[in-house]
Structure 1
C-alpha cells in the first residue's frame, strides 16, 4: 500500500515508490500493489509508473464524489464508513450452489444473515444491483453485505412479506436543489461540475467565499445555475447575510491555503454558527462538511452536522479493502461513478406505508419491484446517536419494523440524472 505523505511533492514520492516496486524482481508471485495520488493530474503518471498491474486511486476525485453524493443524502457518509471500515458490515463475495439457476431478484430474501447487492459472474465481471431477472450461473459469486463471511447463510424458510404494507403510491419525484457552498478550495470547480450531474435541471448553486473561485465551468453546466456571494465563513454576521433559510443543502469546504489543523479549526467555528442559525430558523437545511483530521471530526460532532467527509480516512480504508480483495475494485468503481448503481437514501414512504407494521423482508421486496436493492435503513429519531447515526445495515428480515415520515431506506439504484465520466479508481 503506497500512500501520499504530507508535503508539496507528496505524489512524487508515490510515483517513485511505484517505479521501484514495478522494476523490482520478485521471488515468487508479484504482490498486490495499491496506491493513491493526491492530485488528479498525477494519476496518469502514477499508472505508467505502476506498469498497469497496480490499482491506483485518485484521492482528490474520490473526495469530491463523496461530497457531491452526500450533499443531498443525509447519512450517506455513515453508510460508506461502515462498508469500508471493517467494523460492522462490509462486502464479501460468496458462492452459493443452492441458488444456481435462481434469479438475482429471488436471491435477495434468501439469506438469513447477509444481503445480496450484486453478482460476480464466472467470467470475472462484477455487477452491482444487476437486473432482477439475471440468472445466477455455476461458478458465479454473490456480492453480499454482511458482518462476517462466516455468518452468511441461507434461510430455512423465506420470511413473510406484509403485502398490505407495501405502498402503491408512485415514488417521490426528485426536487430542484438549492445548495450553497461555503468556502472554496482547489476542488471547487470539479465539485461544481459533478454536482451538475447529480441534480435536476433548474437547480441552483451559490458559492459563498471571501473571493470568487476561478475556472468555474458555467458555460458547460447543464442542470445548475451558479451564483457567487462574498462571505467570511467564520463571521456570524457574514453567514446571516446569506439568507440561509432559502437553501436545502449547505456544503462547507475546507480551506486548503492553510495547514490542515488550522483549516479544521476554522471549519468548526463555521459549523457552530451554522447550527445555531439553523436552530433559530427551524432546521431548514442539511450540512455536509469537509474535514482533514478524523479526530477533529469527532470533536465537530457536537455541532450536529449531518455528514462529515474525511477524505484521508476514506482513502486509507478503501486501499485497505483493495489489499484484502482486488475484485472489490469493480464494486467501488460502480459506487463512485454516476453511470452505475449508487447508494441512495430514499424516503421510506417510497416502499412501505408510514405507520404500517412490516419487516425488512417486505422492504427488500418493495425495493425489488422498483428494480432496486435495499440493504438497510435510516431512522430519523436516532440520527444524532453515534456511532451509526441512525443507519442500520443488514438488519433482521423478520423483526417488526414501522417507519415514520422522515425515515429513509438505503438502496442501490441507478442514477436519476445525467452522468459524467470518471470514477476516481483506475487500474
Structure 2
C-alpha cells in the first residue's frame, strides 16, 4: 500500500518556494548591482565545479592539493577573464582588480558603440535624416490623395529614374508599408519617407525643398486641415526664403484646400508661382458634370492619369498662319483641343482663329514623342456628316440622396448650369439640421430646391419617391467623422446604390446615377448599371495635382474643363455629327464637330458597355480609324 503524502508538508514546501521566489524577485528589483551579483554567482556556480572536474581528471596536474587548487583558480580566471594569476593573496587580488577594470572598459566601450548604432538606426527608422537629392518631388502631408499622387508620379516616371519624398506626421515604417500596399511596385522611382510635422521649418528642411522640382501640399482628413495647409505653406516659404538669401526662387508648389475661406490665405502663402486647388469645388463640379451624362468620369480619369493619353503643349512653327480649324486635322495620332497664347490656354477657339508664330498647340496624346504632323484632311468624308440637328435643351429634375459639405456647392453649380424651371429634391437623414441659407434661390435663377427628411438606405424611403421621373440621381455619402476607418463614409452610398440597382432591374430601365465615394477602392464594389457613374473625390484632386506639378501651365486648362458651363468635356450623341449605320473615319467626326465650334477627342461605344467590355471609352483614336456608328454611341467633345 502506497504511503500517503503529508499535505501539511507539501504546503510548507510550497510556501518555502514562494518565499524564496519572492526574495529573489526583491533582490532583482534593487537594480543593476543585484543583477551583476547574481550573474557572478551563477557563473561561479557553473565554472568552478567544471574547472575542478577538469583539473582532478587531468593526469598532468601535480597530485598535491595546493597545486590542484591553484590550477582550478587559474582555469576559472582564464574562463571568466579574471587574470588567473597565482601566488600570495595580494597578487591574486590585484590580478582580479586589473581584470575587472579591463572588463569594465571593454563593456563600456561595447555599450557606447551599441548605443550609438541603435540611436542612428532609430533616427533612420524615424526618418530624421536630410534628403540630398535634386529635381525630386516633395509630398507634404497625409490624406486620401497620397496614394493617388505617389502612384501617378511612379507612372509618369516609368521610363526614367525619379525620387519622391514624403513628409508627414506619421511613423516612417507605417507610411512605407501603406504606400507599398496601395501603390505596388515603384519601378524606377525611389520612395523616401520622413517623419515629422510639416509645419516645422526645421523638419521641413529634411526634404530639401530648395532643390526639388515640385512640392505638393495635401490636406489631412481631420478638422482644421486647411489651416494646417496654410501653416505648411508659410513654413515652406520661410525655409526657401532663408535658403535663397531672401530670394524666393522656389519649385512648383501645388496645394489643396477644402474650404473657400482659406483660398486667399493659401494663395498668398504659396507665392505668385504657387497653385492652390479647392478640392471640394473640383469634386462638386465633376459630380454636376457627370449628372445625367454617365461615362464622363471615365473621360476625366483618362485625361488626368498618366496611364493613357494626357495633355501636352507643343511648339509647331510650321502651322503659323493656318487657321485653328485646319490645325484640328494636322495630327493623325493626337487630338488638338486649343492654343496657348502668351501663357494663356484657349480651349476650342473659333475655327477661323489664325495661329500665330509664337502660339503653342495644346494637344491630347500618349506622349510628347507621338505628336507628329500628318495632315488628315483627305480622310474627311463630307457626305457622311450629319445635317447638324439641334436638340432643344429643357429644364431638369435632379434627385439628391444624402448630404455632405460639398452638397451646397453642387446645388450652386446646378443653379448656374440648368435652365429656369429646373428642380432639385434633396432626401437626407437629419434634413432638419441642413442650413438652407445657401440653398435659397437667387434673383436670376429658376432652380427650385426642396429638402425632405428621409434615409436613402431604407427601401421604404425610395419606394415613396418617383425615382423614374428624375433626369438624374446624385448619391452622396456623409462627411467622415474623426477616427473613421478608410472607406467608412462610403457604406451608406454603397447600400443606396444597391437599392437603386434593384429598382432598375425591377423597372426594366436604366437610371442615370452618379455617386460620390471617399475611397477609390470602393469603386469596384459599387453596384452600378451601364448608365451610372462613380467619382472618388480624393483620387480626382490627386490626379489634378500630379498633372499640374508636371506642367503648371495646365492649371487654367483644368479650371476651364471642370466648369459647369463654358468649354468643358461633354458627351454628345453620335447622330449629331455623322450618319448612323454608316462606316466612316474619325477624321469625319472631327470635321463635323469643327462646324459646331467643338473639338472631338474620342467616343463611347455603348455596345461594348452592354457586352461587359469595360466602359467603352476611346480617347484620342487615330483620325484614320473607321467604324460604324449607332444611335447609342456618343462623341467626346471639348466645347460649349
**Shared topology, TM-score over 0.5?**
yes
Deviation of the 1:280 alpha carbon: 1.6
Report matched runs for 1:25-424 at 5 Å.
Answer: 25=241, 26-27=243-244, 29-121=249-341, 123-155=342-374, 158-212=377-431, 213-215=434-436, 216-220=438-442, 222-256=445-479, 258=481, 259=484, 261-300=487-526, 306-338=532-564, 340-383=566-609, 389-414=615-640
8 Å CA contact 1:159, 1:397 repeated in 2: no
CA contact (8 A) 2:561 2:567 kept: yes
In structure 2, what is the Cα distance between the partners aligned to 1:305 and 1:292?
21
The alpha carbon displacement at 1:384 in A equals 6.1
Deviation at 1:305, TM superposition (A): 6.3
CA distance in 1, matches of 2:392, 2:441: 27
Closer/same/farther in 2, CA of residues 343 and 22 from structure 1, 3 Å limit: same
Structure 1 or 2: larger helix share?
Answer: 2
1:6 paired to 2:229: no
Which whole-Å deviations, capped at 9, do the CAs of 1:277-332 have from their partners, x for residues lacking one? Answer: 01222224211000000101122156666211111111111111111001101211
- 2-side partners of 1:387 and 1:226: how far apart? 38
Q: Distance in 2 between matches of 1:63 and 1:130?
A: 26
Structure 1 residues 251 and 140 mapped into 2: Cα distance closer, same or farther (>3 Å)?
same
Structure 1 contact 271–305 (Cα < 8 Å) conserved? no
4+ residue segments displaced more than 4 Å: 301-305, 384-388
Counterpart of 1:420?
A: none
8 A contact 2:329–2:376 mirrored in 1: no
Give SS of 2:300's match. helix
Structure 2: unaligned runs, 5 residues or longer: 1-215
Contact 2:380 2:588 in 1 (8 A): yes
Deviation at 1:169, TM superposition (A): 4.1
Partner of 1:274, secondary structure, is helix
Does the 8 A contact of 2:332 with 2:376 survive in 1?
A: no
Call closer, same or farther: CA 1:307–1:49 in 2, change over 3 Å. same
Q: Which residue is equivalent to 1:15?
A: 230
Q: Secondary structure at the match of 1:397?
A: coil
3-state DSSP of counterpart to 1:398: coil
SS at match of 2:350: coil
Q: Shift in Å at residue 93 of structure 1?
A: 0.3
Deviations along 1:325-375, one digit per CA (max 9) or x if unpaired, are 011012112112345311110111111122122111000000001111111
Over 3 Å counting, the alpha-carbon distance change for 1:46 and 1:387 in structure 2 is farther
Contact 1:15 1:46 in 2 (8 A): yes
**More relative contact order, 1 or 2 (CA 8 Å, 6+ apart):** 1
User: Is the contact between residue 82 and residue 88 of structure 1 (CA under 8 Å) also seen in structure 2?
Assistant: yes
CA contact (8 A) 1:111 1:153 kept: yes
Q: Provide, for residues 50-104 of structure 1, a one-character-per-residue CA deviation record: whole Å limited to 9, x for no partner.
A: 2333100011111111111111221111011011111111000011122111111
CA distance in structure 2 between the partners assigned to 1:400 and 1:291 by the alignment = 37
Task: Give the Cα separation in 1 of the matches to 2:627 and 2:290.
Answer: 26
Unaligned runs of 5+ in 1: 415-427
Rate the CA distance shift 1:356–1:157 in 2: closer, same or farther, 3 A.
closer
Q: TM-score, normalised by structure 2?
A: 0.62
Distance in 2 between residues matched to 1:384 and 1:354, nearest whole Å? 19
1:128-149: CA deviations, max 9, x gaps?
A: 1111111111121100001111
The TM-score, its normalising length taken from structure 1, stands at: 0.92
Counterparts of 1:38 and 1:124, CA distance in 2: 27
Contact 1:373–1:413 (Cα < 8 Å) also in 2? yes
Shift of 1:201: 1.8
Taking a change above 3 Å as real, the CA distance of residues 105 and 304 of structure 1, as seen in their structure-2 partners, is closer
Q: 1:386 to 1:331 in 2, by over 3 A?
A: farther
Pick closer, same or farther for the CA change 1:117–1:156 going to 2, 3 Å.
closer
C-alpha RMSD of matched pairs (Å):
1.9
Question: Which range moved further: 222-231 or 140-149?
Answer: 222-231
CA 1:316/1:30 → structure 2, altered by over 3 Å: closer, same or farther? same
Go from structure 1 to structure 2 and tell me whether the alpha carbon gap of 1:339 and 1:306 turns closer, same or farther (over 3 Å shift).
closer
CA distance in 1, matches of 2:235, 2:421: 50
Cα distance in 1 between the residues matched to 2:612 and 2:259: 32
Q: Find the aligned partners of 1:191 and 1:403 in 2 and give their Cα distance.
A: 34
